[in-house]
Amino acid sequence: MAVRTSFEVAHTCGHTLTHNLSDRPADKRASFARWLASKDCTDCWKAARDNDSASKQEWLAAKRAAEQQAAADWAAQFDMPPLEGPEKVLDWGERSRHQLVTAAYTALVTEGTWGEADWSALEEKIRTISRAGWWIDQRDAEGTDLPELLDAATEADRGSENPFR
């Protein structure tokens, strides 16, 4: 007698479906059918995932908007120049710059040994880097690495505007 390949499974969502498990090894079919019974059916699982995906996208859009507003407010407060580059990366570059520079201030001044004079000199170097892509490339850097990263920046990363505001 052959091991059965078709199993009637009552899913946790309340749907009962017949599953063809012939593609599974014979000794694994019954345990897989029990596992399926502990899950929603495919249609319910997809519907829940799609709903979750929509709410995740809404949450992410709201988070990005809040981060973008904080970066814009920060740039205005500290007289940071606008970034240059393709339109589609400017917002990302602004957020990356804001996050890295505030992390650097926290690490070097607030928690570190730097004084405001040291920070002011670094802040002037920060203003010279106007390429959005450079800030995006540095998004995973530690705040304490910012002085060295700024020294390593090339002329291509610096804007063509007069640095003496």
Place of tokens 């809040």: 66
Residue 165 has pLDDT above 80, yes or no: no
The DSSP line for 81-133 is: PPPBS-HHHHHHHHHHHHHHHHHHHIIIIISSS--HHHHHHHHHHHHHB-BHH
- The model's pTM is 0.66
1 pLDDT tier (thresholds 50, 70, 90): low
48 pLDDT tier (thresholds 50, 70, 90): confident
Residue 159 has pLDDT above 80, yes or no: no
Least confident of 45-59, 70-84, 92-106, 131-145: 45-59
Average pLDDT over residues 26-39: 93
Residue 162 has pLDDT above 80, yes or no: no
> How high does pLDDT run on average in the chain?
91
Q: Which of 70, 112, 116 is nearest to 91 (CA)?
A: 70
Residue % of the chain over a pLDDT of 70: 95
